[in-house]
Chain A
Amino acid sequence: MADAGMLRFHVPEPEVRPGGAPDFSNVPIAAAGSVPRPDIDADPRTIRDMAFSIIRVLNRNGEAVGPWAGLLSADELLEGLRHMMTLRAFDARMQMAQRQGKTSFYMQHLGEEAVSCAFRRALLPGDMNFPTYRQAGLLIAGGYPMVTMMNQIYSNEADPLKGRQLPIMYSSKEHGFFSISGNLATQYIQAVGWAMASAISNDSRIAAAWIGDGSTAESDFHSALVFASTYKAPVVLNVVNNQWAISTFQGIARGGSGTFAARGLGFGIPALRVDGNDYLAVHAVAKWAAERARGNLGPTLVEYVTYRAGAHSSSDDPSAYRPKAESDAWPLGDPVVRLKNHLIRLGAWSDERHAQAEAEILDTVISAQKEAEGHGTLHAGGKPSTREMFEGVFAEMPPHLRRQRQQAGV
């Protein structure tokens, strides 16, 4: 009932803060297999409730169930598991390298590996991702060399970006990975523009936009949805809801809309929510959305419900703003463990083989790291030349930069 008294200012708060007991009991989680799989050309008005549920394939017993299951073979799943384990091992080594002073900054994916690794499998060569800083799985699963990633992280003499960009802000057109800005949300509308260009050119390639829960509050997110909706752009609009934007819980960006997926509804964009820790569900939904884009059916908004188990970045300490045990209490579990259990259930994997694979992957990552460190780290060994600092501002260096380079003595 309306209350006509003094106005009160409302600031949302998370359920629990440090010192409290983690509690996700009020997060409604649909049972695996319970959400229907509509045809890709379903009328968006008939599937609005999908923005409020969660599409899940893997159940608690490690079985793949329901209409979104059955798209991937055991071999493909094993490869997916390997991608996620590689990303996790890569992150652990690079996080440590940052602590050892070999680079200035690092951002890991812990708990979110399934999102980018499984999504990558739904794309075709030539498609273009416009990622944020937490989708390196697109590169790992796409076969981009780990050594090159590390060279970039170390800003060393072999850094393909010549030391100009922050660690992990990779760029690879060849691997369908748009240059990461470090600015938030700007890439979302750029992805829509890329997709519009593909349609203008009567091409068959599609774009994938990426954003986090917190950055959906940026105006560029809304710009992207307007343009995608107006021009029916062939783009998959991904929102990775990992619950935390540095120290700010997702409710501050989400406000009263209930879910981030629901943001798409006002634009007439089909919006799906998916269990982001379920490799099979992420892949199935990504494939559905990609097929829609490729079939001239326009954009799809997908919210991946996941949990940032690690810190936001190497400069962050989450114990200051959330309970330490919160990630253990996260009801959607760990993506690596869940896929591993599924493969064991299928009879295609075992604990022993998993442990062995972990050791092999660690070896591979360590040898890549050795090779990268042979080219230098941020403060030691080979580094990009100072001259490189002046190159590439424009295609052709204008006179004022030539004068400044001369002044700098390079």
Chain B
Amino acid sequence: MIEAIRDAMDVSMERDGKVVVFGEDVGFFGGVFRCTQGLQAKYGKSRCFDAPINESGIVGSAIGMAAYGLKPCVEIQFADYMYPAYDQLTQEAARLRYRSNGDFTCPIVVRMPTGGGIFGGQTHSQSPEALFTHVSGLKTVVPSNPHDAKGLLIAAIEDPDPVIFLEPKRLYNGPFDGHHDRPVTPWSKHELGEVADGHYTVPLGKAAIRRAGSAVTVLAYGTMVHVAQAAVEETGIDAEIIDLRTLLPLDLDAIVASVNKTGRCVIVHEATLTSGFGAELSALVQEHCFYHLEAPVARVTGWDTPYPHAQEWDYFPGPARVGRALIETMEA
């Protein structure tokens, strides 16, 4: 998926001279996850460069560049590091179009690796997506595979508004299904690991059905799409798995159509439970599908603790926990 993300920036920089890429370790070295490798050599230091360790500075300067007319695509090294930039994102980037009535706009993309599964502890594992979806004026995207990552990132760069692009870091090197004790499968063996050359987009705001089914709807995004797939295979339940891809704008139509068909819904995310994005999904399902529901909406999430180090796999909502929720929802 690293190559797909890099390819998206490469294609965008090639097509549009206004696209610039910067962040911590992003220039010469090509990023700690190597997502920007080769871009500085290809496009020069004016279009791909290293930034000081200063997240509010990275996002704040990107906003100024966007107001000028460039299209910055910046990297925050870990989503856990974005808090110093939160003011710039929520009060500035998100509101510039609104407060100036379109006099100034902010077409920036802020990429950040999200989620756990690499023994990153409290400060390299967080999933802060709900902190973005709660803010009016931001779009929030979480890809689950290389094909989507490239198409969604190109769409995000071309979008006229600020987009938060959360990259599940455990998916960088393969479709991780939560079985941490098994060997890593590379993307080359996955059907969505194949990435078309050149320019294409995956539209923001459109979910994808990863598995069609009739018994229960699973709403997931990022790494949890693969975990849900494993859980469904292991329980043998005929679930319909929806990969949301974009959390805001949300593809509510796809959710409602599926839940109205299955009558059951399990929501899965890695982020903490309370006030997580699953709460919003659960409320929407209740509001729009209440008379079709045959069981309470279930949520399987990270626990409401900081992301622990040694207990990583006790924290992570793996296929066993998702499977239990599926069975309970079917029996309810």
Interface residues of A (CB under 8 A from B): 128, 130, 160-162, 164-165, 169, 171-173, 178-179, 181, 183, 186, 188-198, 200-201, 207, 219-220, 223-224, 226-227, 230, 392-395, 398-400
Which residue of chain A has its CB nearest to the CB of B160?
A: A395
Which residue of chain A has its CB nearest to the CB of B99?
A: A165
Q: Verify B98–A399 contact, CB threshold 8 A.
A: no
Q: Verify B91–A181 contact, CB threshold 8 A.
A: yes
Interfacial chain B residues near A395, Cβ < 8 Å? 97, 105, 160-161
The answer, among A161, A165, A189, A394, for a CB contact under 8 Å with B161, is A394
The answer, among B51, B54, B102, B250, for a CB contact under 8 Å with A392, is B102
Given A393-B136, A394-B137, A395-B160, do A161 and B99 touch, yes or no (CB 8 Å)? yes
Q: Verify A183–B61 contact, CB threshold 8 A.
A: no
Q: Verify A164–B98 contact, CB threshold 8 A.
A: yes
Interfacial chain A residues near B54, Cβ < 8 Å? 223, 226-227
A–B Cβ pairs within 8 angstroms, 6 of them: A171-B101, A171-B104, A189-B64, A207-B64, A223-B60, A399-B205
The answer, among A178, A188, A394, for a CB contact under 8 Å with B104, is A178
CB distance from B20 to the nearest CB of A (A): 6
Which residue of chain A has its CB nearest to the CB of B18?
A: A201
Complex CA–CA separation, A215 to B60 (angstroms): 16
Top 7 A-B residue pairs of the complex, sorted by shortest distance between their CB atoms: A193-B64, A193-B61, A189-B60, A223-B57, A398-B249, A197-B68, A179-B100
Q: Verify B62–A193 contact, CB threshold 8 A.
A: yes
Which residue of chain B has its CB nearest to the CB of A195?
A: B64
Complex CA–CA separation, A195 to B253 (angstroms): 43
Complex CA–CA separation, A178 to B63 (angstroms): 12
Interface residues of B (CB under 8 A from A): 20, 46-47, 51-52, 54, 56-57, 60-65, 67-70, 84, 87-88, 91-92, 95-105, 136-137, 139, 160-161, 205, 248-250, 252-253
Q: Verify B99–A171 contact, CB threshold 8 A.
A: yes
Q: Verify A400–B250 contact, CB threshold 8 A.
A: yes
Interfacial chain A residues near B88, Cβ < 8 Å? 186, 189, 220
CB distance from A43 to the nearest CB of B (A): 24
Interfacial chain B residues near A393, Cβ < 8 Å? 97-98, 136-137
Complex CA–CA separation, A192 to B91 (angstroms): 18
Interfacial chain A residues near B96, Cβ < 8 Å? 179
Complex CA–CA separation, A192 to B102 (angstroms): 21
CB distance from B226 to the nearest CB of A (A): 27
Which residue of chain A has its CB nearest to the CB of B45?
A: A200
Interfacial chain B residues near A196, Cβ < 8 Å? 61, 64-65
CB distance from B328 to the nearest CB of A (A): 30
Interfacial chain A residues near B104, Cβ < 8 Å? 171, 173, 178-179
Given A171-B100, A194-B64, A230-B52, 8 more A-B residue pairs with CB atoms under 8 Å apart are A179-B103, A181-B99, A186-B92, A189-B61, A194-B68, A227-B61, A394-B161, A395-B105
Complex CA–CA separation, A168 to B52 (angstroms): 34
Interface-central residue, B91, B97, B98, by most chain A CB under 10 Å:
B98
Complex CA–CA separation, A52 to B95 (angstroms): 38
Which residue of chain B has its CB nearest to the CB of A159?
A: B101
Which residue of chain B has its CB nearest to the CB of A169?
A: B99
Q: Verify A178–B67 contact, CB threshold 8 A.
A: yes
Q: Verify B249–A183 contact, CB threshold 8 A.
A: no
Complex CA–CA separation, A220 to B68 (angstroms): 19
Interfacial chain B residues near A224, Cβ < 8 Å? 57, 60
Interfacial chain A residues near B68, Cβ < 8 Å? 128, 193-194, 197-198, 201
